[in-house]
């Protein structure tokens, strides 16, 4: 007989206790790899191999077996307890342990999910009048139930005091020798269990215990809700998690939840538009901030994707080397994201020696393991240039409509997709020579060979991780259509060189190369990057992207890593957004339609308002559309009238009525209901954020301030303060509760609008150690706390201001060529058309373009640390252009930029 108990197996305790009660001693084999016959269900865990070769994998059946060996036959009652334990208690205990060990919730919070089951036990013991579950002696039922409960309770005093009978049963069981011996192993086991649970989160407990997504927090409050909320409130700052103190560089820590977050790498020479920003970097940033607030050990990585044909083409057009071009645009990207307050731990690039080293290593490993194929492709080659031509480098006559200037990939006239070798009279775009069709050797990743591994991995990761439905759907579609070998090499020079004879003049195709950027960027951040990327046991990986990027992250890149067989960390949670449209159309750089990252700051609208509106619109589950009118509405209604108004009023009352000192609070039933209401919203917020449903979580925050406004409105502290002693006390309580709700909002808002959050913390003088994000509303600003100067957080947007912006970004009048031209670094700004009347849309359009271009130029100069005189000259030009624009738009040039007051 062999008993195998892997570390952290949730059911270890009861099995060890039952083994201790067995007639013959059983020596458990703790930990170690699985040996002998394969046990069910997969993955193998705790098991007992009997002498006849039978393997028991169910902990309860193992306990039952030890008791059968003692000659104790199962009865109706013991069978019933075992069934109850397996179907009801185990799932609830797993959820409670997850809450406590992984999410760090307080004991009583975690026990809440078990409450009805504990009551059931109490009632049974009290009614039956016996000292144990199935009679007066310890039976298998007691061991099994005790073994499940012990890791959550540990001590009978953690049971609610009204469960007296259960308490004494639990104490008696814990003192019984076999249980006591098993329990001695607990501290070690709990640590393992925590890691185990972090990687295998149990399904959420049923709707009875926690509000599900569908259930609105508007549901009626129960007495339990209110009692729990009052309890949390009274615990004060002690109920808050301590602020997370990361070491630098951030590295995984054993036993903690280690969260690695990536945002899809933006292509370097496209200026990101609002859709790109909300699609990955801003979504990832919001989650990264939340993750840090929860005290999870978090690393957030991104960078620019720089290799490929598009960069090479653009560099040729601009007369720069690809490297120079990338340097310029990388700075532009970094600048945009820093303006949006994106909190990358590192923002790197893919054109580094680390990239070459890691990409070539993965390539060599794939090659050595036989996952690469060779095949011949027919491609156009220009002999005079001495190079194979990428599709964009060829022009010719369209084989379908005979249009003479068709491009190598598509005909602009008939719109059909073209295979470059089919073009009639092909011409090299660079030298106008005639390219010839030449066979060329390429390498392919053998995806069909890796399909089995991929599916097995997907099954595991889907069972435990949060993948958005679109990510699962797109992946399934790819698998359903069958995987084909994919070419991983290109005839280019701007890329990671292929380290194989016969291919040395080629580079890796970007889709193979770019995702490796996550690894190489981390490697440039810390030389211990492998602790993040070759550590799936300890690290949870979140990938953020728009849906068009899903197959590369769910199929192709995982296949590269699985085939490399180097224990790589693969994605656990794949978060893909739908598309954000612009005023019901598409963002288009070439047509000048939409707001691009570099222009957002020129609108005069603060970064946090942009963040708020984009997150409020986040295309979660379906496409959504950016609209200027809606931006104005949301700013004025949600930010200004709801959120800003509540926080400002709460703070102002403290200043005006109580000389800046938080008054004494005497909670009435009505206040307690508000605490419970806010706590319910906070719980919902956490549930949604844990599932990365960012937009919905933001709705919870807004609901809280709505409740707060209502509360102030009903209680009218501004009237009561003028009343008798009792009224004044009431005014004090309402003000005190409201300002504490405002303090909680500061923490809840931090992932969304960090600048506003900091402003609230500054105004209310909340000390840093009390800025943590609690699970429920707690009194962080006790009576006697002094607040600072309170001022409005948001500014109203005026319809005229927004209408001007709408016209400015509507595009249409820009000719194609003009918009396609990148801002030339040295070109002087063209003189404005002085003859045009003010309000002329064409003039406004032109000036807007020029302001944007000049703005870019200034930023590039600053980023490149150009001489001050040079920068100043260009800044002066920019200011002049802005002034002209203002005049053309018919507004005063000194118009305030709408910056938030601090």
Partner 1 sequence: MAAAVRGAEELELLERLLGLPGGNKYGVQGERKVPVLQTNNGPGLTGLVTIAAHLVRRARKEQLLGSSAEEKAVVQQWLEYRVTRVNGGSSKEDTRTVLKDLNMHLEDKVYLAGNIFTLADILMYYGLHHIMVDLTVQEKEKYLNVSRWFNHIQHYPGVRQHLSDVVFIKNRLYTNAH
Footprint of partner 1 (CB under 8 A): 38, 40-42, 50, 52, 54, 56-58, 60-62, 64-65, 68-69, 74, 76, 79-80, 82-84, 86-87, 90, 127, 206-208, 459, 462-463
CB 268 within 8 A of CB 330: yes
Q: Which is nearer to partner 1, 76 or 481 (CB)?
A: 76
CA-to-CA distance for 612 and 282, rounded, in angstroms? 10
Q: CA-CA distance, 697 to 686, in Å (whole number)? A: 8
Q: Which residues does 188 contact at the CB level (< 8 Å), separation at least 6?
A: 7
**Which H/E stretch holds residue 329?**
helix 322-339
Using the minimum distance from each CB to partner 1, give the nearer residue, 50 or 661. Answer: 50
Q: Which is nearer to partner 1, 45 or 776 (CB)?
A: 45
Residue closer to partner 1 (CB basis): 52 or 247 = 52
What is the distance between the terminal CA atoms of the chain, rounded to a whole angstrom?
Answer: 72
Q: Which is nearer to partner 1, 53 or 415 (CB)?
A: 53
Least distance from partner 1 to the Cβ atom of residue 339, Å: 43
406-407 sheet: strands from edge to edge: 406-407, 394-397, 424-428
Specify the residue, 126 or 825, whose C-beta has the smaller distance to partner 1: 126
Query: Which segments of 222-355 are extended strands (E)?
Result: 258-263, 297-304, 346-349
> Are 679 and 202 a contacting pair, CB within 8 Å?
no
What is the nearest approach in angstroms of partner 1 to the Cβ of residue 169?
18
Measure the CA–CA gap between 718 and 713, rounded to whole angstroms.
10
Q: Considering the complex, what minimum distance in angstroms separates the CB of residue 76 from partner 1?
A: 5
- Maximum distance among all Cα pairs of the chain, rounded to whole angstroms: 106
In this complex, which beta carbon is closest to partner 1, that of residue 79 or of residue 729?
79
State the burial class of residue 42 (Cβ atoms within 10 Å of its Cβ: 0-12, 13-18, 19+): exposed
Of residues 41 and 828, the one with the C-beta less far from partner 1: 41
Taking the least distance from each CB to partner 1, the nearer of 83 and 664 is 83
Least distance CB 121 / partner 1 (angstroms): 14
Alpha carbon distances (Å) from 668 to 236, 403, 646, 674, 714:
18, 80, 21, 10, 14
- What's the rounded Cα separation, in Å, for the pair 510 and 513? 5
What is the closest distance, in whole angstroms, from the C-beta atom of residue 215 to partner 1 in the complex? 13
Q: What is the smallest separation between the CB atom of 447 and partner 1, expressed in angstroms?
A: 22
CB of 1 to partner 1, least distance (A): 10
In the bound state with partner 1, the residue whose beta carbon lies nearer, of 63 and 617, is: 63
Strands (E) across 469-621 are located at 486-487, 489-490, 507-508, 539-546, 573-577, 580-582
- The values of phi and psi at residue 359, to 5°, are -65, -40
Q: How far is the CB of 568 from partner 1 (least distance, A)?
A: 24
CA of residue 506 relative to chain centroid, distance: 36
Q: Please identify, using beta-carbon distances, which residue of 444 and 462 lies nearer to partner 1.
A: 462
b (16+ CB within 10 A) / e for 616-627: bbbbbeeebebb
Q: Pick the closest to residue 560 from 523, 497, 511 (CA basis).
A: 511
CA distance 868 to 872: 6
Minimum CB separation of residue 555 from partner 1 in Å reads 18
* Least CB distance to partner 1 at residue 56 (A): 6
Closest distance of CB 771 from partner 1, Å: 40
Of 51 and 724, which has the nearer Cβ to partner 1? Answer: 51
Task: Report DSSP state, residue 879.
Answer: H
Cis peptide before 249 (omega within 30 of 0): yes
DSSP category for residue 265: P
CB–CB of 91/202 below 8 Å?
yes
Kindly tell me which of 83 and 378 has the beta carbon lying closer to partner 1: 83
The residue among 883, 686, 872 whose CA lies nearest residue 291 is 686
Calculate helix-pair angle for 557-564, 447-464, nearest 10 degrees: 100
Q: Which is nearer to partner 1, 116 or 820 (CB)?
A: 116
- Rounded distance between C-alpha atoms, residue 30 and residue 786, angstroms: 56
Map residue 458 onto helix, strand or coil.
helix
Phi, psi of 441 (to 5 degrees): -80, 140
Say if residues 777 and 742 touch (Cβ distance below 8 Å): no
Place of tokens 């046991």: 537
Neighbours of 898 (CB within 10 A): 17
CB of 551 to partner 1, least distance (A): 20
CB of 35 to partner 1, least distance (A): 17
Between CA 98 and CA 103 the distance in angstroms is 6
Distance of CA 760 to the CA centre of its chain: 24
User: Whole-number minimum distance, CB 110 to partner 1, in Å?
Assistant: 22
In degrees and rounded to multiples of 5, residue 897 shows phi and psi of: -85, 5
Nearest residue (CB) to partner 1, 90 versus 780: 90
* Closer CB to partner 1, 60 or 709, in the complex: 60
State the minimum distance, in angstroms, from the CB of residue 457 to partner 1: 14
Q: Which is nearer to partner 1, 85 or 598 (CB)?
A: 85
> Nearest distance from residue 621's CB to partner 1, in Å?
19
Handedness of CA 60, 61, 65, 70 (dihedral sign): positive
Residue 348 β-bridge partners: 303
Distance CA 382, CA 364 (A): 31
Q: How far is the CB of 3 from partner 1 (least distance, A)?
A: 13
Instruction: Find the shortest distance in angstroms from Cβ 5 to partner 1.
Output: 17
Give the nearer residue to partner 1 in terms of CB position, either 87 or 815. 87
């Amino acid at each position: 007989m062999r008993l195998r108990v892997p570390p952290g197996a949730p059911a270890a305790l009861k099995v060890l206790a039952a083994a201790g009660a067995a007639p013959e001693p059983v020596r458990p084999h703790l930990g170690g790899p699985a040996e002998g016959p394969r046990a069910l269900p997969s993955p193998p865990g705790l098991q007992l191999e009997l002498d006849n070769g039978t393997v028991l994998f169910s902990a309860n059946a193992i306990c039952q077996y030890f008791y059968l060996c003692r000659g104790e036959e199962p009865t109706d009652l013991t069978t019933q307890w075992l069934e109850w334990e397996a179907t009801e208690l185990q799932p609830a205990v797993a959820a409670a342990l997850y809450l406590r060990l992984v999410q760090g919730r307080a004991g009583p919070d975690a026990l809440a999910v078990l409450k009805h089951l504990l009551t059931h036990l109490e009632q049974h013991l009290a009614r039956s009048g016996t000292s144990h579950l199935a009679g007066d002696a310890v039976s298998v039922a007691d061991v099994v139930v005790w073994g499940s409960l012990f890791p959550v309770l540990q001590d009978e005093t953690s049971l609610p005091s009204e469960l007296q009978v259960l308490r004494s049963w639990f104490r008696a069981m814990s003192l019984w020798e076999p249980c006591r011996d098993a329990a001695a192993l607990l501290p070690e086991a709990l640590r393992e269990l925590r890691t185990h649970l972090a990687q295998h989160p149990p399904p959420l407990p049923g709707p009875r215990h926690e509000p599900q997504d569908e259930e609105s927090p508007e549901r009626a409050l129960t007495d339990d809700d209110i009692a729990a909320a009052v309890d949390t409130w009274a615990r004060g700052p002690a109920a808050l998690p301590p602020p997370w103190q990361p070491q630098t560089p951030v590295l995984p820590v054993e036993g903690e939840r280690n969260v690695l977050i990536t945002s899809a790498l933006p292509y370097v020479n496209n200026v990101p538009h609002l859709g790109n920003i909300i699609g990955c970097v801003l979504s990832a940033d919001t989650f990264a901030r939340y993750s840090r607030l929860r005290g999870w050990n978090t690393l957030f990585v991104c960078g620019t994707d720089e290799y490929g044909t598009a960069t090479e083409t653009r560099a040729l057009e601009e007369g720069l080397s690809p490297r120079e071009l990338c340097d310029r645009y990388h700075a532009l990207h970094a600048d945009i994201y820093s303006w949006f307050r994106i909190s990358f731990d590192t923002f790197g690039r893919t054109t580094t020696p680390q990239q070459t080293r890691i990409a070539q290593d993965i390539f060599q490993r794939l090659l050595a393991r036989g996952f690469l194929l060779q095949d011949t492709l027919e491609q156009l080659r220009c002999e005079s240039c001495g190079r194979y031509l990428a599709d964009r480098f060829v022009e010719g006559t369209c084989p379908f409509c005979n249009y003479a200037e068709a491009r190598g990939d598509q005909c602009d006239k008939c719109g059909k997709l073209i295979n470059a070798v089919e073009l009639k009279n092909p011409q090299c775009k660079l030298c106008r020579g005639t390219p010839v069709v030449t066979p060329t050797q390429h390498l392919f990743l053998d995806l069909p060979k890796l399909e089995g591994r991929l599916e097995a991995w997907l099954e595991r990761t889907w069972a435990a991780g949060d993948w958005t439905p679109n990510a699962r759907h797109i992946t399934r579609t790819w698998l359903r259509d069958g995987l084909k070998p994919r070419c991983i090499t290109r005839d280019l020079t701007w890329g990671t060189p292929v380290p194989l004879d016969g291919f040395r003049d080629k580079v890796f195709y970007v889709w193979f190369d770019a995702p490796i950027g996550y690894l190489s960027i981390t490697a440039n951040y810390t030389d211990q990057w492998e602790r993040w990327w070759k550590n799936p046991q300890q690290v949870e990986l979140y990938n953020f992207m728009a849906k068009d990027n899903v197959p590369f992250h769910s199929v192709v890149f995982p296949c590269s890593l699985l085939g490399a067989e180097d224990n790589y960390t693969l994605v656990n949670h794949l978060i893909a957004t739908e598309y954000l449209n612009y005023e019901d159309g598409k963002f288009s750089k070439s047509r000048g339609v939409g707001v691009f990252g570099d222009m957002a700051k020129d609108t005069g609208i603060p970064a946090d308002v942009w963040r708020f509106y984009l997150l409020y619109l986040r295309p979660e589950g379906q496409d959504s559309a950016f609209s200027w009118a809606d931006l104005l509405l949301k700013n004025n209604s949600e930010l200004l009238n709801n959120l800003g108004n509540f926080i400002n009023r709460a703070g102002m009352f403290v200043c005006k009525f109580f000389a800046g000192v938080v008054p004494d609070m005497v909670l009435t039933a009505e206040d307690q209901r508000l605490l419970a209401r806010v706590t319910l919203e906070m719980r919902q917020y956490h549930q949604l954020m844990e599932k990365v449903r960012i937009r919905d979580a933001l709705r919870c925050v807004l609901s809280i301030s709505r409740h707060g406004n209502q509360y102030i409105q009903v209680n009218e502290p501004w009237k009561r303060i003028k009343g008798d002693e009792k009224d004044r006390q009431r005014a004090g309580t309402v003000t005190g509760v409201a300002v504490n709700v405002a303090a909680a909002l500061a923490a809840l808002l931090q992932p969304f609008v960090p600048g506003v959050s900091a402003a609230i913390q500054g105004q209310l003088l909340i000390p840093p150690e009390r800025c943590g994000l609690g699970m429920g509303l707690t009194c962080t600003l006790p009576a006697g706390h002094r607040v600072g100067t309170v001022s409005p957080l948001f500014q109203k947007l005026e319809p005229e201001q927004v209408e001007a912006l709408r016209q400015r970004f509507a595009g249409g009048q820009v000719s194609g060529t003009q918009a396609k031209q990148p801002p030339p670094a040295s070109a002087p700004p063209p003189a404005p058309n002085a003859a045009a009347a003010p309000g002329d849309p064409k003039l406004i359009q032109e000036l807007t373009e020029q302001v944007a271009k000049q703005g870019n130029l200034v930023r590039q100069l600053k980023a490149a640390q150009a001489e001050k005189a040079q920068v100043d000259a260009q800044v002066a030009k920019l200011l002049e252009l802005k002034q002209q624009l203002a005049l053309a738009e018919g507004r005063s040039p000194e118009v305030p930029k709408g910056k938030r007051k601090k």
